[in-house]
Structures are given as C-alpha cells and as structure tokens.
Amino acid sequence: MAIRTNFMLRAGISLLALTFAAPAFAHPHVFAEARLDVNTDGNGNVASLHHVWRFDDLFSSTVLVEFDKNQDLALDQAELDEVASVVHGSLADFNYFQLVTRDGKDVPMQAPERLIADFVDNQLIILFESKPETPLPLTGKIAFGVYDPTFYTAIDFIEDSYMTVNSLPAGCTNSVVRPDPDEAIAQNQQTLTDAFFDDPTGNDMSKIFATRLELTCSKDS
C-alpha cells in the first residue's frame, strides 16, 4: 500500500495501521494540491497528461530533512533528482495515482519516463507527463482524475480551472465532477465493504471519491 512505499519510509512518515473499518473512514496524512492538463493531438486523440502536485508544508519539511545530504537547508539538483527517482519507483505499483477511463473502462497508461522534483516556497513540487499505452480517441465519455487508492495521500484540485483540456475539439464538452462523499458511500456501501475485506490495503473502489474531469465527445469529434 502507499504508506509502505519507499518514499514514505525514506521521508520518515510514521506508518499508521488501518483501523477495522471501510476504506471511506481512513484518513489521509499527506496533502497535495494538484493541477492536471490534458493535451490532445491533431488526430482527435488524447496525447498526454501533464501533472503538477504541490505538497503540504509538513510533508515537504520532512522530505527536506531526509534528502538534504549536505545539510544546507536546501535541496540541490542532485538531491532533487534523488527525490524524483524515489517517488517514481514508489508510485509505479499505483499507476502514479492516475484515474483514466473511457466509457467506464480503465485506460492503460504508460509509466512516465521520469519525474521532476522542485522545491518552491518551502513546498515540494512533483511534475510528470504520461501517455496512453495505445491511441485514446476523443469519443464517448472519458474521465481523468488523480487519487490514492489507500487514502493515505489526499490530492485536491482547489479550483475547477486546475483541470483543463488543451485544444478541446468542437464536438466535445467537459466538466469537473466533485463526488459528494456521503452520497458515494450511501450508493456503494456494500460494494465498498466487500472490496475492503477482499483487500484492506487498497482497492479501485476508492476512485468513486476522486474529483475528475469528464469529457463527452461525439463520434465526429
């Protein structure tokens, strides 16, 4: 699960045991503000996703202390590269917290070649780009989101404008969907409970709580 990744361990985050409860009652311990830009190509396909995550002050400070090898209270390029490498390896098993579906079916995504880490105003920033494994045409309903299936990390899009599509075709509409947690639990309680007992360490059912960008496109888009 995400709380057992090398990154969390290296960053010195305490591992908290999951309580005997459904995943909806787990609490996040790391917080990040996010931006997602969906890029399209000239052939009517999704070309790539560009992610930016800005982490909270407490977690960022912990990362600074852990990776500041020369103890100058800053992260130089080599230290930032190490942070990026550790995060890259740690999130591989979790599809880099990406949620991409087309007409309700998961869309396989290529792993990003690399992540970029930066430290701005005492906050850790992670940037990366990913691409669909096969061409993803802009037809039907396509959804994009970012979520941690273990609920350890809360990734939030503060403004709807932080989820955008570049060069959206005329035949497509887009909207940001923010599920109401109480409604999501009520509508999926049994399924959530079954999923938790099948795999207490995390499961795809948690994506029902994720803020997502939805595109609805006609076949002629």
What pLDDT was estimated at residue 42?
Answer: 86
Give residue-wise pLDDT tens across range 19-45.
Answer: 222 344 456 789 999 999 999 998 999
Query: Between β-strands 136-137 and 140-146, what pairing exists: parallel, antiparallel or unpaired?
Result: unpaired
Q: How much is the average pLDDT of 59-82?
A: 95
d(CA 112, CA 89): 11
Report the pLDDT averaged over residues 50-66.
96
- Residue 72's φ and ψ, nearest 5 degrees, are -105, 15
How far is Cα of residue 202 from the mean position of the Cα atoms in its chain?
Answer: 14
> From the CB of residue 54, how many other CB atoms can be counted at a distance below 10 Å?
19
The Cα angle at residue 21 between residues 20 and 25, in degrees rounded to 5: 135
- Extended strands (E) in the chain: 30-40, 45-55, 98-102, 105-106, 116-120, 123-130, 136-137, 140-146, 153-156, 163-166, 172-177, 212-217
Q: Look up residue 52 and give its amino acid.
A: V
Q: How confident is the model at residue 107 (pLDDT cuts 50, 70, 90)?
A: very high
pLDDT at 93 over 70: yes
With cut-offs at 50, 70 and 90, classify the pLDDT of residue 209.
Answer: confident
Choice between 19 and 76, residue whose per-residue pLDDT is larger: 76
Q: Report the percentage of the chain scoring pLDDT > 70.
A: 75
Give how far Cα 106 sits from Cα of 143, 200, 201, Å.
9, 21, 20
Q: Which residue has the tokens 């969906």?
A: 38
As a whole number of Å, the end-to-end CA separation of the chain is 39
Whether residue 82 contacts residue 70, with contact meaning beta carbons closer than 8 Å, is answered with no
Gap between the Cα atoms of 29 and 16, Å rounded: 9
In the chain, the percentage of residues whose pLDDT exceeds 90 is: 63
pLDDT digits (tens, 9 = 90+) for 146-161: 988 877 888 999 999 9
Mean pLDDT of the chain: 82
Give dist(CA 84, CA 92) in Å, integer. Answer: 12
pLDDT tens-digit map of 9-24: 444 333 222 222 234 4
pLDDT exceeds 60 at position 54: yes
pLDDT score recorded for residue 4: 36
